[in-house]
Structure 1
Amino acid sequence: MSFSVQKSLRTSLKSSWTILKLIVPIYILADVLFYYNLLSHITFIFKPLVSLLGLPQEAALAIVSGLFLNLYAAIAFAAPLGLDAKEWTILAVFLGIAHALIVETEIMKRLGLSRIYSILLRLSVGLLVGGLTSKLPQSWFSSKILQEAVTPEHPVYQSLFDLVQNSLYESLSLSLKVIALVTLLIFFLDFIKSLTIIEKHSQKVNSGFSITVGVILGITYGAGILISEYEKGILKKKEILFIGTYLMIAHAIIEDTLLFVIFGANPWLIVGLRLLFATLIATLIVRYSKAT
């Protein structure tokens, strides 16, 4: 498959429309809820969860939307909250591991990993790594955040219309930044997919290659390489368990990370922690499992 600028452009336009549909309305909704202090009536339910992560209670909607939808929805809820660099890093680590659970759990199911295992693994590891991140020194995190991308302090508005108007501007500004980033990533990743080495190895079983591809391109592409081999019974259960466990903790490492770096999150911690715990946990689970 040769690299096609037209195909990548079509994909980026489709993604841009999806981003706009998610970020703009959710950002405005979050801004209204936050400004009128309505979040306190909703987010108290998730107080134990956000407390474990060392995040403000208002971040609960971002976490929940990330868990069940995707990272774009989570960012739209989190952007108006004025989180600092450490809080954005915690959110990035947790949601990088545990996001879009409904869709990605079904992909893992096709690889023979149960839904319960997938969900419990991602939630528990996300909480573990996110909680550890919250204990790290504040000096490890940049104090400089792109202030134009967030609104730490809400001004006093004369009317709801003024609030919505300002939120619309902020949400569109944020959307354009995310769209620019995602478009560049789409072209870059499509180019990688077109490389001969990718084409060659994607046609045969190669655990190490599948993990590498999944870490860079995401669960869908990485696991997709192995699904047909699993369904044919070629792969051992331990191979599937290791690859699936690894990819659920560390996948789409470039795209997921850069989405949060926009707000000042520490990319080295995000990538380092996810790769470290993916390796440790996948190795331990396979070593002590009864799979053969």
Structure 2
Amino acid sequence: MNFDTQAFLNSALSTAKVIVFTVIPYFLLAELLMYFELMPIIAQVFEPFTNLLNLPPETALALASGVFLNLYAAIAFAAPLGLSVYDWTILGLFLGVLHSIPIESAIMKKLGVDWLHSVGFRLIMAFIVLIPLLIIPTEFLFDNPDHVASALYQTTLTTPDNFTDFILQKSYEAVLLAIEIIILVSLVIFIVTLIKGLKFLQKFDHHLSTIMALITGLLIGITYGAGVLLKEAQYMSKKQILSVCYFLMVAHAIIEDTLLFVFFGADIFLLIGIRLFFALIVFYFISNYYKTTDT
């Protein structure tokens, strides 16, 4: 095994920087919106959409920031809301499929899937993966779906008496939350770096490019794995590229994305199992479609 320490440190530090500059300001913004009682106004505008997802209206900003920015911003907006295990699982499934659209759609375009198809497909699949949670009674899926799983940053601090105390307390909570997410993500990066250093992966030749691309995207994600995906795509057929792309648009970064929401109480088995189930179905249909059209 070859563990690339420098690569791990570079990735961990660059990710930590993104987390700090994303989580802290958005967390504070969410708290300020609630402090000045502006959150209900925003929530009311987006209520029809959040109702479709069976989520509280207050999650609108978390959804929007996750879709257009990244999951760290979504977590920052959602963390102060006191969401239940069920809410976090819904949020994790939806945003697990539909997040970081501007960046990841650009990568998909380089791989041969245009913006309209990739965004449209991910939007549709983001709703489809929720079907089991929306139609199956929650008591069959969760032991206690309404339980509010407190994140570690939530403490028994007293209610602030004035705005200055409020800012100080929430700044402390924001920094603590950012540190906790950095530790979690750094652990994931460490594990992924270990996996990448495994000798059997390094022995993959280009005859196994499809498998390598799937493994890379599934473990690392579309954004961080873009270099490998683009490199391996040179040795893949159009059918193989599209099969991999559509699979990964449903299930990618399965470790990091999942643990971010599990940290707040989401069900890990539902998040991984449902996304993989639908991703495999998509992979099967894409592969078989191009089999029939190529012959």
TM-score, scaled to structure 2: 0.88
Structure 2 residue aligned with 1:245: 246
CA, structure 1 residues 142+70, in 2 after alignment: closer, same or farther (shift >3 Å)?
A: farther
CA distance in 2, matches of 1:161, 1:131: 45
List runs of 5+ in structure 1 lacking aligned partners: none
Root-mean-square deviation (Å): 2.6
In the TM superposition, 1:62-101 aligns within 5 A as 62-101=62-101
Structure 2 residue aligned with 1:201: 204
In the TM superposition, residue 155 of structure 1 has moved relative to its aligned partner by 6.9
Selected match of 1:186 from 185, 189, 203: 189
CA distance in 1, matches of 2:293, 2:29: 47
In the TM superposition, residue 120 of structure 1 has moved relative to its aligned partner by 0.8
Structure 1 residue aligned with 2:270: 269
Q: Please say which of residues 10-19 and 138-147 is displaced more in the overlay.
A: 138-147
In the TM superposition, residue 213 of structure 1 has moved relative to its aligned partner by 2.4
CA, structure 1 residues 287+262, in 2 after alignment: closer, same or farther (shift >3 Å)?
A: same
Structure 2 residue aligned with 1:213: 216
**Match of 1:248, SS?**
helix
**Match of 2:255, SS?**
helix
CA distance in 1, matches of 2:137, 2:128: 17
**Pairing 1:106–2:109 present:** no
Instruction: Give CA-to-partner distance per residue, 1:82-141, whole Å, 9 cap, x none.
Output: 000010000000101111011111111111111111101111111221353244433333
Aligned positions, number:
290
Structure 2 residue aligned with 1:164: 167
List runs of 5+ in structure 2 lacking aligned partners: none
**Match of 2:129, SS?**
helix
The answer on whether the counterparts of 1:210 and 1:223 sit within 8 Å (CA) in structure 2 is no
What letter corresponds to residue 99 of structure 2 in structure 1? Answer: H
The answer on whether the counterparts of 1:95 and 1:126 sit within 8 Å (CA) in structure 2 is yes
What letter corresponds to residue 254 of structure 1 in structure 2? Answer: I
CA distance in 2, matches of 1:229, 1:186: 21
What letter corresponds to residue 204 of structure 2 in structure 1? Answer: H
CA distance in 2, matches of 1:211, 1:239: 10
What letter corresponds to residue 218 of structure 2 in structure 1? Answer: V
In the TM superposition, residue 171 of structure 1 has moved relative to its aligned partner by 1.3
CA, structure 1 residues 74+164, in 2 after alignment: closer, same or farther (shift >3 Å)?
A: same
Q: Please say which of residues 153-162 and 278-287 is displaced more in the overlay.
A: 153-162
CA, structure 1 residues 148+71, in 2 after alignment: closer, same or farther (shift >3 Å)?
A: closer
In the TM superposition, residue 221 of structure 1 has moved relative to its aligned partner by 5.5
**Pairing 1:18–2:21 present:** no
CA distance in 2, matches of 1:249, 1:160: 43
The answer on whether the counterparts of 1:111 and 1:223 sit within 8 Å (CA) in structure 2 is no
What letter corresponds to residue 195 of structure 1 in structure 2? Answer: L
Structure 1 residue aligned with 2:236: 235
Counting aligned pairs with the same residue, the percent is 39
The answer on whether the counterparts of 2:210 and 2:236 sit within 8 Å (CA) in structure 1 is no
The answer on whether the counterparts of 1:257 and 1:270 sit within 8 Å (CA) in structure 2 is yes
